[in-house]
Amino acid sequence: MHEFRFEPVQMPAAAQALRGEVRAFIAEEVAKGSFTPSGNSWSSFDPDFSRKCGERGYIGMRWPKEYGGHERSALERYVVNEEMLAGGAPVGAHWIADRQSGHQILRYGSERAKRTILPRIAAGKCFFSIGMSEPDSGSDLAAVRTRAAKVDGGWNISGTKVWTSGAHRTNYLIALARTSPKGEDRHAGMTQFIVDLSHPGVTVRPIYNLYGGHDFNEVVFDQFFVADDMVMGEAGMGWTLVTGELAFERSGPDRFLSTHQLLVESIRAVGADPDARSASDIGRFVAHLATLRRMSISVAGMLERGAQPSVEAALVKDIGTAFEREIPETFRHLIPTEPTLGDGASYAELLGMTILCAPGFTLRGGTREILRGIIARGLGLR
């Protein structure tokens, strides 16, 4: 049986110093009016803000300096990210590139990919989408039907990706495609490609989400050419790469801070002298939040040590996203409010936005059911 140990991690002094810097930067930007803190922090696309983050060294923090990175620790990166989310900063433009795509390119990309792409990501000028899901391939990712055929000097990709966040505004996506027919081992024969969305042969169409926002897209490739040096790793390694990528996607503070703004504004609305029920519900959430944060930081410590905490990451995401979903459901009782459609400026709008975003928390990045399957495998049940 896998023993889940979330060992304690001591935040180094450098990380705590960095925390003060980031907090001051966010406060300054809010004071200047460059953004209003949003409940949708890592889905808020703001290239100007991303550029400022790049200038301050908050993107690609762990990458080597020769590729534009800053050679800082996983814990320093963790501190920057949690401060951004807690502050409701619009980090959505660079979030995916920083969290997973850049890291994958650093590990598996060609030298040209590393040289041409990573410094621009770190500068906050180059953004990524995720090209995994398809119309007939959601949780069952191995069912992807997008194909890549070998041609002289590269590959021709044809197929359709869906739920592709930000693809109408990002520069690249990493597409998972089948490069040899499905055989005995359905996880074999897949490959990841770096796709430049500015090239011809790709069509991006909006898919409006539950709250009416344009974040998702359908991305259609028609004989889209990708050069050999934009293949990630070796052809056929796609499944290994994708599962490794998902570990980075699952354990971070973005998996329990999605409703942090609503929590903060609800505490404000309840006031300094809460009734018994409000006090205990707030206390319960604080207890959950403190515990989740400790577990998530512990996973960051494992990543820092080079471990592969994919089961621990699944566990943090499962309980973290369940926590996120409870917040609107509880506060709507404590602060009777009719949720209102809008951009989140009033409490009623923030509540409304959160209710409509909430179903996504336990779907994106691996559904609750997929995560529980991973945990069960870790427990030796599969």
Partner 1 sequence: MSGIRDDLLKTVDRIFGEHCPKALRESAEAGEWPAVLWRALEETGLDRAALPEADGGSGLAFEDAMLALRRSAYHAAPLPLAETMLAGRLLAAAGLAVPQGALTVAPVRTSDRLEFVHGVSGATVVGAVHRVPWGNLCAHAVVAGELDGKGVVGLVSTAGAARGVDKNLAGEPRALLTFDHAPLIASAALDDALARLHAEGALYRSVQMAGALERSLEYALQYANERVQFGRPIAKFQAIQHMLAQLAGQVAAASAAADAAVEASCLAPDEFAVSVAKSRVGEAAGKGAEIAHQVHGAMGYTREHDLHYSTRRLWSWRDEFGNESYWQSRLGRAVAAGGADALWPMLSRL
CA 301 to the chain's CA centroid: 18
Q: Indicate the residue among 15 and 190 with the shorter CB distance to partner 1.
A: 15
Q: Counting contacts by CB under 8 A, is residue 12 touching partner 1?
A: no
Q: Is 159 helix (H, G, I), strand (E, B) or coil?
A: strand
Nearer to partner 1, 287 or 341 (CB): 287
* Residue 31 makes contact with partner 1 by CB under 8 A: no
Residue 151 to residue 323: CA distance in whole angstroms = 48
Check residue 17 for interaction with partner 1 (CB under 8 A).
Answer: no
Non-local (6+) Cβ contacts of 28 within 8 A are none
Q: Which of 150, 186, 187, 268 binds partner 1 (CB under 8 A)?
A: 268
Looking at beta carbons only, is 146 or 278 nearer to partner 1? 278
Q: Which range, of 90-98, 121-129, 161-169, 286-294, touches partner 1 by CB under 8 A? A: 286-294
Number of residues that bind partner 1 (CB under 8 A): 53
What residues contact residue 69 under an 8 Å CB cut-off, 6+ apart?
Answer: 60, 61, 62, 63, 106, 118, 122
Picking from 167, 157, 52, 162, the residue whose alpha carbon sits closest to that of residue 101 is 167
Q: Using the rule CB under 8 A, is 319 a contact of partner 1? A: yes
Pick between residue 14 and residue 379 the one whose CB is nearest to partner 1: 379
Does 245 bind partner 1 (CB under 8 A)? Our answer is no
Residue 373 interacting with partner 1 (CB under 8 A): yes
- Stretch of residues binding partner 1 (CB under 8 A), selected from 207-215, 219-227, 240-248, 269-277: 269-277
Closer residue to partner 1 (CB): 238 or 309: 309
**Residue 149 binds partner 1 (CB under 8 A):** no
CB 239 within 8 A of CB 187: yes
Q: Which of 117, 281, 347, 365 touches partner 1 by CB under 8 A? A: 281
Among 123, 289, 335, 348, binds partner 1 (CB under 8 A): 289
Site residues for partner 1, window 297-316 (CB under 8 A)?
A: 298, 315
Q: Does position 265 bind partner 1 by CB under 8 A? A: yes
Question: Are the C-beta atoms of 259 and 269 separated by less than 8 Å?
Answer: no
Residues 54-83 close enough to bind partner 1 by CB under 8 A: 82-83
- Is 379 among the residues that bind partner 1 (CB under 8 A)? yes
Cα–Cα nearest to 176, from 130, 220, 212: 130
Q: Does 276 bind partner 1 (CB under 8 A)?
A: yes
CB of 137 or CB of 298, closer to partner 1: 298
Bridge-partner residues for 205, per DSSP?
218
Nearer to partner 1, 67 or 285 (CB): 285
CB 97 within 8 A of CB 45: no
Contact status, residue 43 vs residue 356, Cβ threshold 8 Å: no
Q: Are 177 and 144 in contact (CB under 8 A)?
A: yes
* Identity of the residue, 189 or 253, whose beta carbon is nearer to partner 1 in the bound complex: 253
Residue closest to 158 by CA, chosen among 101, 108, 206, 203: 203
241 versus 297: smaller Cβ distance to partner 1: 297
Q: Compute the Cα dihedral for 243, 248, 252, 254 and give only its sign.
A: negative
Q: Tell me which residue of 244, 255, 235 sits closest to 297, measured CA to CA.
A: 255
> Which one of residues 107, 284, 305, 333 is an interface residue with partner 1 (CB under 8 A)?
284
Determine if 11 is a binding residue for partner 1 (CB under 8 A): yes
| 4 near partner 1, judged by CB under 8 A | yes
Name the strand (E) or helix (H) holding 227. Answer: strand 214-227
Euclidean distance between CA atoms 85 and 77, whole angstroms: 12
- Our finding on whether 13 is near partner 1 (CB under 8 A) is no
Query: Nearest 5°: phi and psi at 66?
Result: -65, -20
Determine the Cα–Cα distance for residues 353 and 217; give it in Å rounded to an integer.
20
List interacting residues with partner 1 (CB under 8 A): 1, 4, 6, 8, 11, 19, 82-83, 86, 260, 263-265, 267-268, 270-274, 276, 278-284, 286-295, 298, 315, 318-319, 369, 371-373, 375-376, 378-382
